[in-house]
Amino acid sequence: MLWTSPVRWKDFGSAGAKWSCNPGKVSCAIVTKPGSTGNGTNDERKPPGPIHLIGVLRHRNFRRLWLSQLISQAGDWFQRIALLALLSELGVQEAWWGVGTLFGVELTLRLLPAAFFGPIAGPFADRFSKRGLMLAADLFRAVVVLGFLWIDQPDEIPWLYALLLLHMSSSIFFTAARSAAVPETVPKDELHDALALSAATWSAMLAFGSALGGLLMQGVGIRGIFLLDSFTFLLSAGFLFGLRLPPVAKHPEPLRLGDLLLFRDLARAARHGRQQRLFPALFAKTLWGGAGGFLVILALLAKDRFALGGGPEAVGGAMAILYAARGVGTGLGPFLGRRLLGRHRSALRRQVGWGFWIGASGYALVPFCPNLLLAFLVISLAHCGGSVLWVCSSTLWQQSAQPAFRGRLFALEFFGMTVAFSATGLLAGALYDSGASLNGLLWGHAALVLLGGLIWSLWSPSLPSENSPEGLS
């Protein structure tokens, strides 16, 4: 139920309190009235019960951050469907690589830059203006994606990959800055709601953006989609211009080039994560890494089983429906998990565990689906589990991490996830080109996900509890 009680707002400045890991003590960069969200407003009367997730949009700065995400991610999914459709067309003419490998490399280039640039982006997000980093990334990406307009021959596929690498390398700076900014735009007790809404938005844009992208491709073509994607980055930057975040606190450790290149800054964050006993939550997405193969298999399913007709537009339409199923599942998962099991720390740990089993089970059922509708339903089920795992594991470590380490801890989390997803995505594509059946690939990767769930169930009891100092930091 949406909370609609009247709220009185009063301005107490632009900076909010930062909670230290010593429970009960508050240290402020700028003195503010307790309860300030850090965005220039204060809610003098708290909601009487759990607030509906949409309620976090009453915080002005989070609302701007969210609108930026909404617009740019819709364009991202337009572009993803268009690129996969273009690769499926060019791959038929390509003599050296099979389509499976082309899809696997595309996934790797979407993910792997985070493994290399994440350790740099995290320290930047901790030390420099998060708003400035996000604006620069949006404007850079608006230019880069226009380069896809000139790719139309198989021998130009390396250029397509180079542009994608530039695009995703800048995206990790945006993502690190945005993830580190979210806790500065909402009160701590609404952080889970903000993260869940962000994940649900990603899911909604995956569903809506993919479906709309497939539909628009029939009218404006693949290159028209690339133009729309460039425009969405400019619109996202427009929302960020009005974003107000607390001043960047002076960091105790100076930024040194050698530290970045040798990952020393990331090692400091890892030591903090180990001291706070956050490793199971930080590496839950790495354990989920077997699902990287599913992302390549989805494109192959669209091409081989569900494309209605011929040509890249037909393949793109089937891909759009299957990717929309991902979006529906990832949108519903956090809402259902929160509704059924709650959001206290022990409930979050249970939801992560269930996420592994539901995700693996959903994809294991795909071989038994004779049509696109049934495949849509079971893939939606699978990604209900994946999204619960995603949101709850992030909440578990962000609630306990000190603000000065959040950017680097995000980089560490993303590092593990991208390496795992890239490896299993490449594996799926290479095995397909070697003659493996799609059914065998689906069951094999489901087994990898189940193995990750087993490791989580043995490791997660070491996480801090609600009443431990780490859990209250």
Who wins on pLDDT, 315 or 431?
431
- The per-residue pLDDT for range 290-344, each reduced to its tens digit, is 999 999 999 899 888 887 666 677 778 888 889 889 888 887 887 788 778 777 7
- Alpha carbon distance 24, 473 (integer Å): 9
The answer as to CATH 2.120.10.30 being correct for domain 59-462 is no
Which residue type occupies 41?
Answer: T
pTM of the model: 0.72
Question: Which residues have C-beta within 8 Å of that of residue 402, sequence separation ≥ 6?
Answer: 20, 21, 272, 473
pLDDT tens digits for 248-259?
666 656 666 666
SS3 401: coil
pLDDT digits over 4-39, tens only? 333 333 333 333 333 333 333 333 333 333 344 444
- SS3 category, 43: strand
Q: CB–CB of 37/185 below 8 Å? A: yes
Q: 240 by DSSP, 3-state: which? A: helix
Q: State how far the Cα of 392 lies from the Cα of 195, in Å rounded to an integer.
A: 9
More confidently predicted of 53 and 177: 177
Residue 15 corresponds to which tokens in the numbers above? 């900076």
DSSP 3-state assignment of 17? strand
Q: For residue 266, name the pLDDT band (cuts at 50, 70, 90).
A: confident
Helix (H, G, I), strand (E, B) or coil at 42: strand
User: Distance (Å, rounded) from C-alpha 396 to C-alpha 471?
Assistant: 8
Instruction: State the Cα–Cα distance between residues 373 and 377, nearest whole angstrom.
Output: 6
Cα-Cα-Cα-Cα dihedral sign, residues 379, 380, 386, 390:
positive
Residue in 120, 111, 220 with CA at minimum distance from that of residue 167: 111
3-state secondary structure 102-138: HHHHHHHHHHCHHHHHHHHHHHHHHHCCHHHHHHHHH
User: 369 Cβ partners below 8 Å, 6+ apart?
Assistant: 375, 378
Residues 205-216: tens digit of each pLDDT: 878 888 888 888
Please enumerate in sequence order all residues whose Cβ is within 8 A of that of 13, keeping only pairs 6 or more positions apart, or say none: 30, 32, 36, 40
Which segments of the chain belong to CATH 1.20.1250.20?
59-462
